[in-house]
């Protein structure tokens, strides 16, 4: 049985741009190596937006040294970046952007969603890259809901979508640099499931809605995260109500982490170089929402 290292309640909501009211549920600053290779996770919403003709979101900004994974539950997000990639994702879709050696991008509510308004809910996860891959070519993966496999859990306990890694012999579509699993889980009330987790992987369970009991020991509620130790096998989750969970496991990257704003590197010197590279235009360009 894995050791429970801590249960964390999401802090007060803050805004990223004018389109994403977020709560930071994971952070390297708070949990350190216990969540490696993950760096940060922001949970945006649930929130209701009124119709508008204005653009809501975050304009052009840089990233370097890691990847962003955006999972939409409600609403729509439009992405553009300096590699020329981009698109609109809706409920169930995932955008996976590899910043690596440096990228510029922007994220807005899609024009159609802004015009109609409605409920909005998403998460954005930051995944660290090993030092050897921080200079890799930037890239983008558009993972549509229809391409993400779903596994029916035993005893009609619910469903699990495999975004990255594998579960019960089913492999997700995301290409990753290190061994990680990202599982989007729905559990039915009064049902339980045991999830096999690789030994040595860090393990975090985020409860986005509902309440679950962890290994018969701890009860974790809405907008809370439980972080467990790296050893001790799988984990048993029992839902006290219908629950929506995000389960993250990963092989730790045992390297120094120096994070400054949108840059995640290994040394202070590399952070300074990242800032110089950005200022000198080495991350490419975006003009009028279209990459050059």
Residues in the chain: 292
Query: What does the pLDDT read at residue 273?
Result: 97
- 182 closest CA partner among 160, 153, 210: 160
Which residues, other chains included, contact 61 with Cβ-Cβ below 8 Å and sequence gap of 6+? 104, 105, 106, 262
Query: What does the pLDDT read at residue 282?
Result: 95
Q: What is the pTM of this model?
A: 0.96
Whole-angstrom Cα distance, residue 15 to residue 29? 19
Paired tokens of 184: 């989007």
Query: What does the pLDDT read at residue 286?
Result: 86
Kind and range of the H or E run holding 9: strand 4-9
Strands 235-239 and 212-214: what pairing?
antiparallel
What is the DSSP code (8-state) at residue 241? S
Contact yes or no for 81/140 (Cβ under 8 A): yes
Query: What does the pLDDT read at residue 291?
Result: 39
Query: What does the pLDDT read at residue 287?
Result: 65
Three-state SS for 66-122 is EEEEEEEEECCEEEEECCCCEEEECCCCEEEEECCCCEEEEEEECHHHHHHCEEEEE
Whole-angstrom Cα distance, residue 74 to residue 122? 7
Kind and range of the H or E run holding 291: strand 290-291
Strands 286-287 and 290-291: what pairing?
antiparallel
Residues of the chain with pLDDT under 70: 287-292
Kind and range of the H or E run holding 24: strand 20-27
């Amino acid at each position: 049985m894995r050791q429970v290292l801590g249960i964390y309640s999401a802090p007060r909501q803050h805004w990223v741009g004018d389109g994403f009211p977020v709560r930071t549920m994971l952070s390297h600053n708070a949990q350190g190596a216990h969540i490696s290779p993950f760096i940060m996770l922001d949970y945006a919403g649930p929130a209701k937006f009124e119709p508008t003709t204005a653009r809501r979101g975050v304009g052009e900004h840089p990233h370097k040294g890691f990847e962003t994974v955006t999972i939409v539950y409600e609403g729509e997000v439009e992405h553009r970046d300096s590699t020329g990639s981009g698109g609109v994702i809706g409920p169930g879709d995932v955008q996976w952007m590899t910043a690596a050696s440096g990228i510029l991008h922007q994220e807005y509510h899609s024009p159609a969603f802004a015009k109609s308004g409605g409920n909005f809910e998403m998460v954005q996860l930051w995944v660290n890259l090993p030092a050897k891959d921080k200079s890799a070519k930037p890239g983008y993966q558009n993972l549509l809901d229809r391409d993400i496999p779903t596994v029916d859990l035993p005893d009609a306990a619910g469903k699990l979508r495999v975004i990255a890694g594998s579960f019960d012999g089913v492999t997700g579509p995301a290409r990753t640099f290190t061994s990680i699993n990202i599982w989007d889980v729905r559990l039915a009330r009064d049902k339980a499931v045991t999830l096999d987790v690789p030994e040595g992987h860090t393990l975090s369970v985020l409860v986005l809605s509902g309440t679950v009991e962890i290994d018969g020991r701890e009860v974790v509620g809405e907008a809370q995260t439980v972080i467990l130790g790296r050893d001790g096998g799988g984990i048993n989750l029992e839902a006290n109500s219908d629950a929506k969970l995000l389960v993250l496991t990963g092989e730790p990257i045992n390297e120094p982490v120096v994070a400054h704003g949108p840059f995640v590197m290994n040394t202070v010197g590399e952070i300074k170089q990242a800032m110089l590279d950005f200022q000198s235009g080495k991350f490419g360009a975006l003009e009028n929402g279209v990459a050059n």
